[in-house]
Structure 1
């Protein structure tokens, strides 16, 4: 399994999501979306609905279908998690490539206004997705490449990153390889 490619898909999806959320008003939410890859052809699919909850349900159903019909897909949505009695805004991701036992899941803590990336991306199920922990460095290299190749994000990435929060974070993308 190509860990670098999986990392690239996640990095590109992270970069795309960040570029979208940065342009939204504080009370707006990014429309969940997926990028599918079949025979090197990419397609962007937006999941618009009356509510964010309905859009996410629609996306979950479609992702199961994609696993039957495409070579790879990546998915992004905006959400929130509870951590230490605080609600934290996050960008949530899933990435799947043929051969994986489950979609890789990750989230990126963010500050909505002004937009900032807080800490590093958090990988939820590296080994459970069928990825080899010994390939963690290749995965991280791919993740960074995915961010770098996004045309609207690469030049602004450093300005979005909250370096104070990153230094204070307990976990990092390195945890993907642990």
Structure 2
């Protein structure tokens, strides 16, 4: 039995007529599979953050909107969504850093594929790890890590400036 074809999805797909797929062994499916697993893995964390943001919205806003005749869509669009913008900003920032240099980018990929097959899942942080610990190019890996940190800082600063610290407000 081939190890990369063992699992719930690999047992269900032949029943659907899509048998013989190797989700982690085929370079065209490997990165998509890792992304799906990453999203599933971190979904609960982000849901808890959004739940905290939702619980922070005062109930009086919804009561006033109901009295004014606002329906569920209007309450979501004009109360919930604007008041969740700081929470959304935080989630976007944390997930961006995690996707580039955190659990989504390294841990899951290293455990599942180690950058393979055919380097199809070797994202930048995995490449830096390979350069340092597989090939001994510590200086090159350190330089790439420094550039990655600076790039993340620049992107974060630009995003912070554009959204005014997650408030998404305009000076009007």
TM-score, structure 2 as length reference: 0.23
The structure carrying a bigger strand percent of its residues is 1
TM-score, structure 1 as length reference: 0.23
Greater relative contact order: 1 or 2 (C-alpha under 8 angstroms, separation 6 or more)?
1
Which of the two has higher C-alpha Rg? 2
